[in-house]
C-alpha cells in the first residue's frame, strides 16, 4: 500500500487512489463534487477536545501527536481505513489545515504504515 497525504484543496490526481477526508469538520469553501472523495472518515479524526487544544499550534504538535496516537490505538476505524488501501492500492489522506508539516493526516499516515507492517502477511490489512 502506498499512503499519500495532501490538502483537500489541491487538485485531484489519477495517482491518488482512494481519496479519504480525515477531518472531523467539512472543509470551508469546497464542494463535495470538487473534493472527489471516496470516503469521509470523521471517525479517525482527532476528537473535538484534542482539536481545540491543539489549535494548529506547531509548538504543541509533539504532544498532539502523542495524544492523537492514543486515540487511534483504540479506534476500530483504523483497520477499516487500512483495508481501503490494502495490497498494491493507493490511499490518499486529505486534510484541510494550512500547515503541511503539523497536521493529523501525517500522524495518521504513520499509524497506518505501522499497522500494516504489524498485520499478518496476506491478510489484506
Instruction: Report pTM.
Output: 0.90
Q: Is residue 69 part of a domain?
A: yes
- The crossing angle, in degrees rounded to 10, of helices 61-73 and 104-118 is 40
Residue 125: its pLDDT value, please?
45
Number of domains the chain contains = 1
Q: Which of the four pLDDT bands, split at 50, 70 and 90, describes residue 121?
A: low
Find out whether 87 and 117 touch, Cβ atoms under 8 Å.
no
The residue range of the domain holding 106 is: 2-118
Residue 120: its pLDDT value, please?
61
Residue 117: its pLDDT value, please?
82
Q: Is residue 125 part of a domain?
A: no
Per-residue pLDDT tens digits for 8-57 = 999 999 999 999 999 999 999 999 889 999 999 999 999 999 999 999 99
Residues 82-109: what's their mean pLDDT? Answer: 91
Per-residue pLDDT tens digits for 83-96 = 887 777 899 999 99
Q: Is residue 64 part of a domain?
A: yes
Residue 122: its pLDDT value, please?
47
Find out whether 1 and 90 touch, Cβ atoms under 8 Å.
yes
Residue positions counted in the chain: 125
Amino acid at each position: 500500500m502506498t499512503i499519500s497525504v495532501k490538502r483537500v484543496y489541491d487538485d485531484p490526481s489519477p495517482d491518488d487512489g482512494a481519496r479519504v477526508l480525515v477531518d472531523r469538520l467539512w472543509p470551508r469553501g469546497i464542494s463535495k463534487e470538487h473534493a472527489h472523495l471516496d470516503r469521509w472518515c470523521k471517525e479517525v479524526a482527532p476528537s473535538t477536545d484534542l482539536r481545540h487544544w491543539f489549535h494548529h499550534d506547531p509548538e504543541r504538535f509533539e504532544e498532539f501527536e502523542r495524544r492523537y496516537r492514543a486515540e487511534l490505538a483504540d479506534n476500530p476505524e483504523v483497520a477499516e481505513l487500512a483495508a481501503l488501501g490494502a495490497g498494491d492500492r493507493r490511499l490518499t489522506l486529505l486534510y484541510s489545515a494550512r500547515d503541511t508539516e503539523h497536521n493529523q493526516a501525517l500522524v495518521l499516515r504513520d499509524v497506518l504504515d505501522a499497522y500494516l507492517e504489524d498485520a499478518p502477511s496476506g491478510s489484506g490489512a
